[in-house]
Amino acid sequence: MIKFARVKSNTIPLMIIYSRNRRLRTNAAIRALVQETFLTTNDFVMPIFVMEGENKQEAIASMPGIYRRTLDLTVKECKELFSLGVKAVNLYMKVSENLKDNRGTESWNKNGLMQNTIKAIKDAVPEMIIMPDVALDPYSIYGHDGIITNGKVDNDATNDALVKMSVSHAEAGADIVAPSDMMDGRVAAIRTGLEESGFTDVGIVSYAAKYASSFYGPFRSALDSAPVDNQEIPKDKKTYQMDFHNSREAIDEVLKDVAEGADIIMIKPGMPYLDIVAKVRDVIDLPIAVYNVSGEYAMLKAAAQNGWLDNDKAIIESLTCIKRAGADMIFTYAAKEAAILLNG
């Protein structure tokens, strides 16, 4: 409501405020009553790095608090995560160099590290949701997500390999497979392969909008999965991962994966791409997963270690913002730490 006062010869509008937004920010109890977004441990998926050996763990220098662990210590970690309320893990293998080839054949070895890890976690923590990564880069001599043919990433040959890999994961006990490769048509191929193999209840979280991002550096160092420096192959992953300049393309990718049978849609990275999350939320009803990637985690940790950010507050705020943008679940290296904070 506006009233007017006459001062000398000029009429000056005086604002009388009846609608005051600050009323609902007066104290913590009122703020809690009107809070729109709630972060819980049910929102988290913890990425886990596994390596060969026994009773060993190796710190990842660029990701403080994150380790590569052998299978026995991975099982122990999963038990602790579940006790904290983190009910899902996303698995990645550190593959020995002698097991790598161009076709990624180790990725569907029934007695491989991934398959044995899935079995061991399921035996120890039956209710833990296991989401193994489906991509060839950890198994490839070239560090690419696909098979190299005549110097290029071979889309359709790669899809055949991804189907074998996914079925192998399902046979080991995976609940949801997570193809992160960005090959065209791989969701339909994997869905068909799972159905034909009798795994009708195994879901697919499709990395539908995965961008060619500079925020993946710490992850690639953790697995030694960066593309090798070879003039005869692509030097990066830009021929299959998305261009970070684009947003309409993300919607197209998402809708195609939904049509192909994806159960959950992934957007990666997270914080710098919340506009994409919000746009996708407006056009689909399927659950959305957002990956709070290694570079995001590393930046926050570096700032906190230098005293530039409050570590605990920044973790909770950043994850809440991802959920507020439209995420139903968040893949984050901070899952364990955030769970401890939320549990009080």
What integer pLDDT is reported at residue 219 of this predicted model?
A: 77
Cα–Cα distance measured from residue 97 to residue 95, given in angstroms and rounded to the nearest whole number? 6
CA atoms lying within 13 Å on the CB side of residue 50:
27
SS3 breakdown of the chain: % helix, strand, coil, rounded to 5? 45, 20, 35
Contacts of 97 (CB under 8 A, 6+ apart): none
pLDDT value at 27 more than 60: yes
What is the structure's pLDDT at 60?
93
For domain 41-343, give the fold: TIM Barrel (3.20.20)
Average pLDDT over residues 9-36: 84
List C-alpha distances in Å: 188 to 141, 204, 237, 254, 257: 27, 10, 22, 13, 8
Averaged pLDDT for residues 22-32: 94
Q: Using pLDDT thresholds of 50, 70 and 90, give the confidence band for residue 324.
A: very high
Q: Which of 14-18, 81-85, 159-163, 170-174 has the lowest mean pLDDT?
A: 14-18
Q: What is the pLDDT of residues 69-104, one digit of tens each?
A: 999 999 999 999 999 999 999 999 999 999 999 999
Domain extent listing, the chain: 41-343
Whole-number pLDDT of residue 218: 81
The catalytic position among 100, 210, 279, 301 is 210
User: Stretch 128-155: mean pLDDT, rounded?
Assistant: 94
What does the alpha-carbon distance between residue 188 and residue 193 come to, in Å, rounded to a whole number? 9
Q: What tens digit of pLDDT does each residue of 213-258 get?
A: 999 888 767 666 557 666 678 888 999 999 999 999 999 999 999 9
The Cα–Cα gap between 39 and 328 comes to 10
pLDDT of residue 319: 98
Mean pLDDT rounded to a whole number for the chain: 93
DSSP SS3 for 205: strand
pLDDT in tens, 261-320: 999 999 999 999 999 999 999 999 999 999 999 999 999 999 999 999 999 999 999 999
Pick the catalytic residue from 268, 279, 301, 323: 268
What are 100-113's pLDDT values in tens digits?
A: 999 999 999 999 99
pLDDT confidence of residue 1: 47
Nearest Cα to Cα of residue 1 among 10, 13, 236 = 13
For tokens 């709630």, the residue is: 38
Please check whether residue 132 is in contact with residue 180, taking contact to mean a CB–CB distance below 8 angstroms.
no
Pairing state of beta strands 88-93 and 203-210? unpaired
Query: Could you confirm whether 268 is annotated as catalytic?
Result: yes
pTM: predicted TM-score of the whole model, two decimal places: 0.92
Under the banding of pLDDT at 50, 70 and 90, the label for residue 64 is very high
The two three-digit tokens of residue 225, written as one number:
């999965």
210 as an active site residue: the answer is yes
